[in-house]
Amino acid sequence: MSGDPAVDDLVAALGEALAPDRVRHDGAERALLSRDASVFEGGVAGPVCFPVSTSEVQAIMRIAAAGGHNVVPRGAGTGLAGGAIPLGAPIVVSTTRMNRILDVDVDDRIAWVEPGVVNLDLSRHLGPLGFHFAPDPSSQQVCTIGGNVANNSGGPHCLAEGVTNAHVRAIEVVLPDGEVAMLGGLDAEPLGYDLRGVFVGGEGTLGIATRIAVTITPNPPAVRTLLLSFAEVVDAANTVSAVIAAGCVPAAMEVMDQRITVAVERYVGAGYPTDAAAVLLAEVDGLAHGVDHDAETIATIGRANGATDVRLAANDDERALLWKGRKTAFGAIAQIAPDYYLHDTVVPRSKLADVLEQVYAIADRHELLVMNVFHAGDGNLHPLLIFDAREPGVLERVHLAGAEIITASLDAGGVLSGEHGIGVEKQQYMDRLFTDDDLDHQDRLRRAFDPTCRANPGKVLPVGHSCADIQSLRAVPTGVWG
């Protein structure tokens, strides 16, 4: 009992539509679901629902629509831009119980999944069939396909294969009014506008995905993984541009600077050199003959750009360990300082080295420690500012440095987010990239799905654009900096 009869009625109605033990409204649950993996605080969750079917999601949406309540979908809560932070005391719809792999069609290379299926679980399931799901965010062992779709997430292996958008064929969506719509389709060229493409990357502001048809990718017959060491970070960045310029598109190209490799070594002992200023982890896949040729190309270009050492992973175990190191980089840095703020901008590959130097200079100016790990092949930078939030005044410096990093990236012709989404994190920068006119059109597109702005309100579009401008949302402004 909450003491507020309206809330009690809402909880009771939801409990009746689902099952009483799949609707929670206690303080512990709400406190936990007011956060995700980002630094943002200030969210306040309403009742938390754990539906198990499309019709249950529909029932929740109808109850929300009838009562004018906001709704926020949530997957595993690993988002880094605050997409799942509940603003406006919404009903939180957790998809974790909708985690069935419904159908796999190897001939048509399609898998139908519920949104709560964990990314890696799908690839594991497909493994014995000789397939995998290509987008592989570093959080893949925990994040959900629904979250991947909503954030249009990428991963190290999206360089050649493309990010989530390239791997989603059709999405069943429960719209904010409770109607169910199928966006996209299994035909090669579905008729009409590509609404599927609109939904991917919609960050939960357009409705809730309840079933998703994804493309499954055959496992490559051969893989080669190289580790190149450099005495300068820019040498690594230049190597990346040169490899692509040479017409070779590896499956993945990831750069980590020395601070990262030191932290990662302490955690997994992946075998990274800790004395190199930067390492480039590159992977090529395809037919055996081709991969040897590509590996040689990368090695040659690396040496020409100053690589001090080039190593080829000897076997699958070594390869897996190198990737484990890369994929746990964000977590591993917590051994250095308790808090981090991870940025996610994309710059043209040719400007990589340039922007990187600026990032280091910006951090220096604000007396902050910065580490760089990035999907170099895409020009997707992930500078990590690490700090101890207990130090007075440090948050302001982190904030300022962050703003300057974003400015530097945009000035170099880049964009705001490579893969983590806009969420609440980068809203205020949207008008740096878009004109008022652009933003108005985006707002209108959104309203076509959600005329009353109740689906994940307060996200993506900056304040001043109606869907973000609901006063009540700002009534809990403990500030995103806790």
List the single partner that 27 binds among ligand FAD, another protein, none, CB under 5 to 8 Å by kind.
another protein
The stretch near another protein (CB under 8 A) out of 75-83, 211-219, 269-277, 290-298 is 75-83
List the single partner that 192 binds among another protein, ligand FAD, none, CB under 5 to 8 Å by kind.
none
Q: CA dist 58 to 47, 52, 245, Å?
A: 16, 11, 49
Q: Are 156 and 252 in contact (CB under 8 A)?
A: yes
Residue 363 CA to residue 384 CA, distance in Å, equals: 10
Nearer to another protein, 24 or 157 (CB): 24
| One of 195, 208, 226, 253 touching ligand FAD (CB under 6 A) | 208
Residue from 86, 84, 87 nearest 96 by CA: 84
Phi, psi of 285 (to 5 degrees): -140, 165
**Contact between 334 and another protein (CB under 8 A)?**
yes
Site string for another protein, 138-177 (x = CB under 8 A): -x-xxx----------------------------------
Residue 425 CA to residue 407 CA, distance in Å, equals: 14
| One of 286, 331, 348, 464 touching ligand FAD (CB under 6 A) | 331
List the single partner that 83 binds among ligand FAD, another protein, none, CB under 5 to 8 Å by kind.
ligand FAD
- The footprint of ligand FAD on residues 311-330 (CB under 6 A) is 330
Closest distance of CB 203 from ligand FAD, Å: 4
Q: CA dist 232 to 56, 78, 284, 305, 353, Å?
A: 55, 32, 23, 10, 10
Residue 380 CA to residue 153 CA, distance in Å, equals: 12
Q: Are 383 and 376 in contact (CB under 8 A)?
A: no
List the single partner that 26 binds among another protein, ligand FAD, none, CB under 5 to 8 Å by kind.
another protein
> Hey, CA dihedral for 268, 269, 275, 281, is it positive or negative?
negative
- Cα 130 to the center of its chain, rounded Å: 26
| One of 3, 27, 192, 477 touching another protein (CB under 8 A) | 27
b vs e for 48-72, b when ≥16 Cβ sit within 10 Å of the residue's Cβ? bbbbbebebbbbbbbbbbeeebbbb
List residues near another protein by CB under 8 A.
Answer: 24, 26-29, 31-33, 35-37, 50, 76-78, 94, 96-97, 99, 116, 118, 120-121, 124, 139, 141-143, 267-268, 328-332, 334-335, 338-340
List residues near ligand FAD by CB under 6 A.
Answer: 36-37, 72-80, 83-84, 95, 115, 137-139, 143-144, 146-148, 150-151, 153-155, 203-204, 208-209, 330-331, 419-420, 456
